[in-house]
C-alpha cells in the first residue's frame, strides 16, 4: 500500500482531540490526511480488535473492559494515520501490526514535550537517542507493508536537526513531519519556518511542515517559506476545522455543532468530546459563561445534544442504529423520513452537496 505526501493538507495529531468524529470533520472540510491522537504502545498491546456492528466502526478495546482506545471506520481508511508513542522497537512493531490493516500509515511520535512522554522515554525524549530512532523505524519498515513516518521537533541547532533528519531518511520512511519549535518552546513562541526549510533542503523524502497555521492562506505561505511537500495544522484546525476549506472558514459555532453531531453519530467518548468543545470555547469565549459551564456539567452525549438543540438528531440516531449499521450510511434512513428530518440529521456541508448532486449521503 502506498500513500502520497505531495501537496497534502494534514490534520496534526492532538491528544484527546484527534478521535474519529474530529478526523472525519476535518476530512469533510478538505483535510487530505488525518492523524489520530497519539496512542501509547503499552496501552494498545493490551487491546483486542472488535467490529462494532452497532455503529459500523472498528474498535480497539482494552481487554477486560469496554474502554475504546482507538476507533476508526471504512470511510477514513485511505487517509487516517495511526500515531504511536513508544520507546521500544519490538513493542512498537507489535502495536503497529495490530492496526496496520485498518489505517493508511503508521507514525512514530518524536516530538511530544509532555512530562508523561519524556519520563517514559517517548516523544521528544527520542530526539536525543538517534540509535533508538533508527532501531524503531527500521524495525517497522522491514516488517510492515504500511507506510511508516515520524514527527519531530527542532533540535538545539539547525545543523543538529538536519543531521537527525538525514539519519531518519536513511531508515526508508515515507515522509517526515517537522514541528518548527524546540522542546522548550511554548505555543506562544513563533515557529521557526526557516529551520524547517533547512531540513527540506537536506533530504529528498517529503517533509510535512507544522507550526503557526491559522488561516487557509497560511498553507501556501509556509510551503513557499519552507519548500515543504505538505503542511500540517493543529490548533488552527482545533479552533475551526473548516480551515481546510478553500472556500473559506465557516462560523465556528456551525463547525462546533457539526462536531457534536459526529460525536453522537460515532458514539464518541464523552470526556474526549467535552475536552474538544472546551478547547473551542476557550479560544472564542470563556468557560465561565453559560455555555462553558453547561459543557462542564454534561455527563453524556445526550446532555450535549440537549445543550446544543440536537435532541431530535440524538434520538433519531440512537433509535435507528440498526438501519445505520445495515447500510454503513444513513442513506436508507433518509429514504424513510421527511425532508425536515433529513436536514436535521445531515452534515450542513454534505447535505448541500448531496442535494446539488443528488448523491446518497455517507458519514
List active site positions: 112
Q: Please give the Cα distance from 23 to 20 (Å, whole number).
A: 5
Return the HEC string of 294-347: HHHHCCCHHHHHHHCCCHHHHHHHHHCHHHHHHHCCCHHHHCCCCHHHHHHHCC
Q: Are 274 and 54 in contact (CB under 8 A)?
A: no
Query: Torsions phi, psi of 292, nearest 5?
Result: -60, -45
The DSSP H or E segment spanning 110 is: strand 105-110
Q: Where are the alpha helices (DSSP H) in the chain?
A: 20-29, 41-44, 89-99, 115-119, 130-143, 158-170, 193-202, 216-226, 235-239, 252-265, 270-284, 290-297, 301-307, 311-319, 321-327, 331-334, 339-345, 348-357
Q: What angle do CA 292, 258, 105 make, to 5 degrees?
A: 110
Specify the 3-state DSSP secondary structure of 204: coil
Beta-strand pair 105-110/68-72: unpaired
Q: Please give the Cα distance from 187 to 211 (Å, whole number).
A: 9
CB atoms within 10 A of CB 363: 22
Distance of CA 55 to the CA centre of its chain: 20
Pick left, alpha or beta for residue 56 (phi over 0 → left; psi -120 to 50 → alpha; otherwise beta): left
Q: Are 211 and 196 in contact (CB under 8 A)?
A: yes
Specify the 3-state DSSP secondary structure of 62: strand
Residue 343: which residues within 8 A CB-CB, separation 6 or more?
A: 351
Amino acid at each position: 500500500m502506498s500513500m502520497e505526501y505531495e501537496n497534502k493538507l494534514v490534520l496534526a495529531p492532538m491528544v484527546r482531540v484527534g478521535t474519529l468524529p474530529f478526523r472525519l470533520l476535518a476530512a469533510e472540510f478538505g483535510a487530505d490526511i488525518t492523524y489520530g491522537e497519539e496512542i501509547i504502545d503499552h496501552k494498545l498491546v493490551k487491546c483486542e480488535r472488535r467490529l462494532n456492528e452497532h455503529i459500523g466502526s472498528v474498535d480497539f478495546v482494552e481487554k477486560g473492559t469496554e474502554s475504546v482506545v482507538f476507533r476508526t471506520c471504512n470511510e477514513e481508511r485511505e487517509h487516517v494515520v495511526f500515531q504511536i508513542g513508544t520507546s521500544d522497537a519490538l513493542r512498537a512493531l507489535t502495536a503497529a501490526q495490530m492496526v496496520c490493516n485498518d489505517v493508511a500509515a503508521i507514525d512514530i511520535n518524536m516530538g511530544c514535550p509532555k512530562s508523561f512522554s519524556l519520563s517514559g522515554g517517548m516523544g521528544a525524549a527520542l530526539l536525543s537517542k538517534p540509535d533508538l530512532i533508527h532501531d524503531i523505524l527500521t524495525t517497522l519498515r522491514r516488517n510492515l507493508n504500511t507506510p511508516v513516518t515520524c514527527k519531530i521537533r527542532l533540535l538545539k541547532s539547525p545543523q543538529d536537526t538536519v543531521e537527525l533528519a538525514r539519519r531518519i531518511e536513511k531508515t526508508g520512511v515515507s515522509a517526515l513531519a517537522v514541528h518548527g519549535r524546540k522542546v522548550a518552546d511554548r505555543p506562544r513562541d513563533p515557529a521557526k519556518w526557516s529551520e524547517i526549510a533547512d531540513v527540506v533542503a537536506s533530504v529528498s523524502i517529503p517533509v510535512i511542515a507544522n507550526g503557526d497555521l491559522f488561516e487557509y492562506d497560511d498553507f501556501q505561505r509556509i510551503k513557499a517559506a519552507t519548500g515543504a511537500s505538505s503542511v500540517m495544522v493543529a490548533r488552527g484546525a482545533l479552533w475551526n476545522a473548516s480551515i481546510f476549506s478553500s472556500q473559506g472558514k465557516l462560523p465556528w459555532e456551525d463547525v462546533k455543532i457539526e462536531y457534536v453531531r459526529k460525536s453522537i453519530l460515532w458514539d464518541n467518548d464523552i470526556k474526549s468530546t467535552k475536552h474538544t468543545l472546551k478547547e473551542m470555547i476557550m479560544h472564542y469565549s470563556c468557560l465561565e459563561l453559560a455555555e462553558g459551564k453547561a459543557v462542564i456539567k454534561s455527563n453524556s452525549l445526550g446532555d450535549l445534544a440537549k445543550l446544543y438543540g440536537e435532541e431530535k438528531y440524538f434520538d433519531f440516531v440512537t433509535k435507528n442504529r440498526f438501519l445505520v449499521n445495515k447500510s454503513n450510511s444513513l442513506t436508507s434512513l433518509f429514504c424513510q423520513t421527511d425532508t425536515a428530518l433529513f436536514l436535521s440529521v445531515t452534515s450542513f456541508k454534505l447535505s448541500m452537496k448531496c442535494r446539488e448532486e443528488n448523491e446518497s449521503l455517507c458519514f
